[in-house]
Amino acid sequence: MKKATRFQDYNGERFQKDLIAGLVVGIVAIPLAMAFAIASGVRPEYGIYTTIIAGILVSLFGGSRFQIAGPTGAFVPILLGVVMQYGYENLIIAGFMAGIILVTVGLLRLGKFIKFIPKPVTIGFTAGIAIIIFSGQIANFLGLHNIEKHEAFHLNMWEIITNLSAVNIYSILIAIICLVIVLIAPKFIPKVPGALLGILFSTLIAVLFFQDKVATIGSTYGPIPNELPTFQWPELTIDTIVMLLPAALVIAMLGGIESLLSAMVADSMTKTKHNSNKELVGQGIANMTTSLFGGIPATGAIARTATNIRNGGTSPISGVVHGLVVLIVLLVLAPYASHIPLASMAPVLMVVAFNMSERKEFAHIFKTKTADSAVLAITFLLTVFFDLTTGVGVGLLFAIIMFVKRMSQSLHVSKTNHDDEKSQLQMYTLEGSLFFGSAERLEEATDSIIQSNADVVILKMEQVSFIDTSGENLLSNVHQRLNEDNRALLITGLDAQPKEMFLKTGLYDRIGRQHFFSQAGKALDYAQSFVHTKRKRKANQPAFSS
């Protein structure tokens, strides 16, 4: 896989492809930008601002030449929670802080560690987010308005159930029309985004036949201004930073994961390779800047990035064009967007939620009925019924505990039979990792080794690839106890990492460099010589009698 060079061999033909791809992705992004903003509890134009600014900056400063950034569904439950708890102004500050965190992580070259989040955790919270987005649009689909919004999933569901008598048949009809078009348009008109067609046709029908009978963006949020956002510096205080730090960390974590996943999808589609740390820096710069102009947090959008590639995007120019297209639409056509019914936006987000649900991966992991299934279920349920922070935090903790348990069970200590008439030589084979998780099992084995009467103990460690200070300490105790009884500890086949640990702690020298061997045969020769010498010394000792 070759590393993506941003403008290598760039020419007019590639520029033309970037213009077309950018135009298509820009058109796709407009309805999604407004829909995600509304679902996040903020005005629709904030989503447009985010698409313009983040889309351009991520393309210019990110680590993938195909990445398209903007508001995404993954952020919806987090941003809505922050808005409900702290307000829109503090959401802006949290987004700015998240940008600083992402830039820091990228500059410290920690991007690769984000990829180490277990797949069951990623699938679990992604599916949970999909459920929250889908359920959050039921009210708009049914035309239920002026109902109270809650942070808890079950409370929102109960609110909908108790208000079912107030459904708006016109809203349901508009939503169904939009949904049908979104689903069937790709089969007949694959070149035109189904979401755009669905919103256009359903809005036209609402304007012509159901004027003032369905809630629209304009009736709910007022007209969308066709002007650029103004610069505003966030009011940062120590108290505000401390209060919003947990939210900022979650936004940064999710933004980092989503952007790198999107970049990896682009890599697989184009046989190139992105720069993870540079991508995080670009995402951070974009989120900091977007916040200064009233936008909401953004990240790499997998579907829009894939659309960019499928339509011929070849460089960051397509991402810049996508942002400029949205900017032109904002300046020229913004007043017309006020006529879009909220019922038209609902099915678009529902389809997005369905597509991002990872339902096949979810079912595959769940069917294994392993510890991964439990991690998946815990992360999913906690994300839905509590929040993403709890879901990911507990899911990661449970995954770590399960990993440590599996690793501890992988340690095996077996006694190797060796013909020695007086059992003065014993050999043991160690397999697995010697770390804090396997300390109990190793301690049981070392007690048996120490209590033996062997003059020489040989530990075969060819199958030990990792040892931490807990494992090193136990082996140090074995050596000390044997040494006190004038017995020898020999070690064979020491791997690179355990040897480095022994050198750092000084155990290598305490055991004695002459007691380490590359092969068991050489250790046996040394052991027999040691036993023979010890016997000879014992035989030459004078006998004392009373």
**Tens-digit pLDDT profile for residues 29-70:** 999 999 999 999 999 999 999 999 999 999 999 999 999 999
Return the bridge partners of 429, or none: 414, 460
Q: Decide which of 241 and 545 is more confident.
A: 241
Report the pLDDT value the prediction gives residue 423, as an integer from 0 to 100.
Answer: 61
Q: How far apart (Å, rounded) are the C-alpha atoms in residues 30 and 40? A: 16
Mean pLDDT of the chain: 90
- Scanning 338-370, the segments in alpha helix (DSSP H) are 342-356, 359-367
Exposure of 256 in the CB half-sphere (CA atoms within 13 A): 30
- The 3-state DSSP class for residue 431 equals strand
Strand pairing class (69-70; 272-273): unpaired
Report the pLDDT value the prediction gives residue 541, as an integer from 0 to 100.
Answer: 62
What is the amino acid identity at position 41? G
C-alpha to C-alpha distances, 474 to 220, 408, 480, 483, 505, nearest whole angstrom: 68, 15, 10, 14, 13
Cα–Cα–Cα angle for 400, 405, 406, rounded to 5 degrees: 100
**Most trustworthy range by pLDDT among 175-189, 258-272, 528-542:** 175-189
- The 3-state DSSP class for residue 148 equals coil
**Tens-digit pLDDT profile for residues 480-522:** 999 998 899 999 999 999 999 999 999 999 999 999 999 888 9
Report the pLDDT value the prediction gives residue 545, as an integer from 0 to 100.
Answer: 46
Give the single-character DSSP code of 432.
S
**Tens-digit pLDDT profile for residues 113-139:** 776 788 999 899 989 999 999 999 999
pLDDT-wise least confident of 86-90, 453-457, 474-478: 453-457
Beta carbons of 173 and 404 less than 8 angstroms apart:
no
Q: Report which of 21, 498, 36 is spatially closest to residue 298, judged by C-alpha positions.
A: 36
Beta carbons of 31 and 70 less than 8 angstroms apart:
no
Cα–Cα–Cα angle for 241, 244, 247, rounded to 5 degrees: 140
**Tens-digit pLDDT profile for residues 439-459:** 777 788 788 778 877 889 999
Please provide the DSSP assignment of 170-211 as one string. HHHHHHHHHHHHHHHHHHH-TTS-HHHHHHHHHHHHHHHH-T
Report the pLDDT value the prediction gives residue 533, as an integer from 0 to 100.
Answer: 83
What domains can you pick out in the chain, each with its CATH number? Answer: 2-7+14-357 (no CATH), 412-537 (3.30.750.24)
